[in-house]
Amino acid sequence: MARYEYGGDEFIFVELSEAMSLETNFQAMAITKTLREEKLPGILDICPSNASYMIRFNPDIIHPDELISKLKELEQEVSLENFEITARAVDVPILFEDPWTHEALMRFRDRHQDPTATDLEYVARTNGFPSKEELIKAITDSPYLVSMIGFVPGLPWCYQMVPNEQQIEAPKYVRPRTYTPERAFGFGGAFAVIYPVQGAGGYQLFGTAAAPIFEKEQRLHDFKESMTFPRQGDVFRYRSISMEEYEEIRREVENGDFRYLTKEITFKPQEVLENPKAFSDSVLRRLYA
C-alpha cells in the first residue's frame, strides 16, 4: 500500500513500495508522466525515484490535501498496460579491474566487509558465483533500466532487467570511502552505478567507464543539450572492454569525437515483466544491429 507524507510546506512524498522492483519503478514513471501531462496548476517540480516520487508544489495555489487526493486517484487510474516508454538503448563500455579503481578500493580495505578480497571477489562469492569472471559475465549479459538519477548530478541508478532470483546484490562498505575516482563503476544493493565525478562513496567498485556521463564543458555531441548524459528510462548495456579499447575511447573523448552508441526504442513495461530474457535479447539485437 502506498504511503503519502507531507514534506514541510511545499513537498509531498509518495512511497509506492518499501522494496524496489521493475513493476514499482514503472508505476512511478507512469504516474509522474501522467501528472506532467496534466499540467496541474501549482505543481513546481516532479521527482521520480526508484520506488517512490516527490512533488514540489505552491501551497498558495493548491492545498496539499487536494494534491494528495489527486495522486491517490492517479495511483488507481494509471495502468501499466497502456503505458509506453520511448527511451534510448545505450552501449556503455566498462574496463573491469582497472588500475585506478583497484588502487582506490585497496586503500580502504579497513572499511570493507572482507579486507582480504577485492570488491569483485567479495561480491562474486556472496552471490554464489564460482569466479569473478562469472560475476562480470552476469553483469554484462543483460541490460539495465536507468530507474532514477540522483546522489550527485548525473549518477544513474541502474536495475538489471532480469528475474528477481537473478538479481545481483552487493552491500555497501561498512564505512564509506573518502575517495572514489571519476567514472568509477560500482554496485550497491541491487543497483549498478557510475560515479560522474570524484568524491566519496560506499558502493563496491568493479571498474571504470571509458566515457563520461557528466561533462561540464559540454564539448561532446552527447552533451550538447545537457551536462549529464543518463535519463530515467534509458536502457544501459554495460559491456566489458580491453585496456586497448579503453585507451582508444579516451583518445576520442579528448579529441571531442566520442559518441555513445545509442538506438531509440519503444516498449511497454508488460514486455519486460512478462519475459525479461526475451526483452533483453531484443534490446541487444537492436542496439548492435
pLDDT digits (tens), the chain, 289 positions: 899 999 989 999 999 999 889 999 999 999 999 999 999 999 999 999 999 999 999 999 999 999 999 999 999 999 898 899 999 999 999 999 999 999 999 999 999 999 999 999 999 999 999 999 999 999 999 999 999 998 888 999 999 999 989 999 999 999 999 999 999 999 999 999 999 999 999 999 999 999 999 999 999 999 999 999 999 999 999 999 999 999 999 999 999 999 999 999 999 999 999 999 999 999 999 999 8
Residue limits of CATH 3.30.1360.40 in the chain: 3-81
Q: What pTM was computed for the model? A: 0.93
E strands present in 8-117: 11-15, 43-48, 52-57, 85-96
Let me know: does 257 contact 221? Beta carbons within 8 Å.
no
Residue 235 C-beta-side C-alpha neighbours within 13 Å: 29
Let me know: does 152 contact 135? Beta carbons within 8 Å.
no
Let me know: does 94 contact 207? Beta carbons within 8 Å.
yes
* DSSP state letter for 164: G
Per-residue burial over 52-70, b if 16 or more Cβ lie within 10 Å, else e, is: bbbbebeeeebebeebbeb
Euclidean distance between CA atoms 172 and 189, whole angstroms: 7
Q: In sequence order, which residues have a C-beta less than 8 Å from that of residue 186 and are 6 or more positions away?
A: 119, 180, 192, 193, 194, 195, 201, 203, 204, 205, 206
Instruction: Find, among 69, 63, 64, 80, the residue nearest to 28 by Cα.
Output: 80
Residue limits of CATH 2.40.100.10 in the chain: 86-288
Instruction: Say which CATH architecture domain 3-81 belongs to.
Output: 2-Layer Sandwich (3.30)
Euclidean distance between CA atoms 102 and 283, whole angstroms: 31
Type and span of the H or E element at 205: strand 204-209
Does domain 86-288 correspond to CATH entry 2.40.100.10? Answer: yes
